[in-house]
Amino acid sequence: MDKLMKIFAFILLIVLFPVNAATVKNIEIKNSFINNFERVKLSKDEIRLIARKQSLVIGTWTPEISPVVYDSVDHYYRGINADYLALMQKSLGVKITITLYSSEAEALEELRKNHVDMLLTPLTRKTYEEDDLLHSSALVRTYPTLVTSLKNAMQPLSTDKTVTIACSESCPPAESIKADFPNAVIKYYDTDYLAMSSVSDNENTYFIGDNISTGNYISKFFPQSLSVIRYFLQSDLDNHFIFNSEQVILCETINNFIHAISNETNIQITQNWLDRGNLSFLNKPITLSGREKKWLKKHKKIRVLVNPYYPPFTITNHENEIRGIMGDILNLIQIQTGMEFEPVFTNSNAGMIKIMLKGEWDLYPRRHL
């Protein structure tokens, strides 16, 4: 009798609480843009693995950030991630199925049970260094982005003054913000949209978020009121694939795919979903010769000859920071090389020649017509 009662109770639990019925769904990749095919160099073991599997089940979990992943109401997986996975299908010759879980814990449990081949994380700072897990190189990288209102676009890029900075919970750690704004008052909001709205409404001086979601929100909601004025040096949030520790060959295969993606393809994929703030060309570090690397170690600070009265090419603010088109270009060079730029000011050709003859400069940015 007790045995029958246990069987009845077990059946009742299955009926009332079907395993994963409400928390898991399979969704199809929706891809309309990517026709690229990346040539991926694979070892013999990796080729045999792909030939044997022929399909991959990739788990992920909610919530996600648009446009990396768009909310799916029609069982399609759309966005930057979807385009990369469509590229993976074509480049590796495998069929990919997406399984969406409601939480990270559930997704990791299913991975450990081998119910999926791997997981694709949301944008995160976590590295998943557990002994039973492996992780790939970053697929999508983001950079912290400084935003202010258009009417105050010449605000300093860093300052010791007391300023208010709006953030969401995904913004960089407070200590990294304090490195550039030591006396900042940081105000946290539930979403990036609310934090950016507070800057648009003049409640705060700055907003800091990642370049992808920030560019997306400015394009959609704040094109006439907010402006990006700086990208910070170190990448912050990224996403990557997670594998069981025994899946070494599969992890190496996916890494080879990620490393094979060209900058042109990175730019194209992100550009399909993002009107501004596209830093995808930074996904692959620039290739430097040994001589160039040696030179960079010796030359950390470069003196830039600047005419501050040459808008929009070069402008300066009250803090003598280089702004305008050249300021944006130097910002991107700094991210890629780590070089710092010190402005040397002159407002005439005669003054420029005098500085050049004295050797008190290193770089002169010139516009060619």
List, in order, residues 6 or more apart from 179 with CB less than 8 Å away. none
Judgement on whether residues 48 and 178 belong to the same structural domain of the protein: no
User: Do 265 and 176 share a structural domain?
Assistant: no
Write the CATH number for 213.
3.40.190.10
Q: What's the domain range around 316?
A: 290-358
Who has greater pLDDT, 8 or 218?
218
Domains of the chain: total: 3
12 belongs to a structural domain: no
Among 341, 346, 348, 347, which residue's Cα sits nearest to residue 363? 341
In a shared domain, residues 253 and 275:
yes
Could you tell me if 85 and 216 lie in one domain? Answer: no
- Are 187 and 88 within one domain? no
Question: Do 30 and 110 have their domain in common?
Answer: yes
In a domain, 82, yes or no: yes
Evaluated on CA atoms 273, 278, 283, 286, the torsion sign reads positive
Residue 5 has pLDDT above 60, yes or no: no
User: What does residue 82 show for φ and ψ, rounded to 5 degrees?
Assistant: -60, -40
Residues 295 and 316 in one domain: yes
Instruction: Give me the pLDDT at residue 13, please.
Output: 37
Same domain, 54 and 131: yes
Look at residue 101 and tell me if it is in a domain.
yes
d(CA 40, CA 42): 6
Per-residue pLDDT of 142-159, as tens digits, reads 999 999 999 998 999 999
In a domain, 2, yes or no: no
Give a yes or no: residue 7 inside a domain: no
Question: Is residue 9 over pLDDT 50?
Answer: no
Q: What is the mean pLDDT of residues 169-188?
A: 94
Convert the pLDDT of each residue in 296-336 to its tens digit.
888 889 999 888 877 888 888 888 888 888 888 888 888 88
Q: Is 8 a domain residue?
A: no
Residue 3, classified by CB atoms within 10 Å of its CB into exposed (0-12), middle (13-18) or buried (19+), is exposed
| Distance, CA of 223 to CA of 149 (rounded, Å) | 10
Query: Is there a single domain that holds both residue 335 and residue 223?
Result: no
In terms of domains, do 47 and 149 share one? Answer: no
Query: Is there a contact between 86 and 31 (Cβ–Cβ < 8 Å)?
Result: yes
Compute the distance between CA of residue 9 and CA of residue 96 in angstroms, rounded to an integer: 38
Could you tell me if 122 and 201 lie in one domain? no
Does any domain span residue 365? no
| Residue 73 pLDDT class (50, 70, 90 cuts) | low
Question: Quick one: 183 and 320 in the same domain?
Answer: no
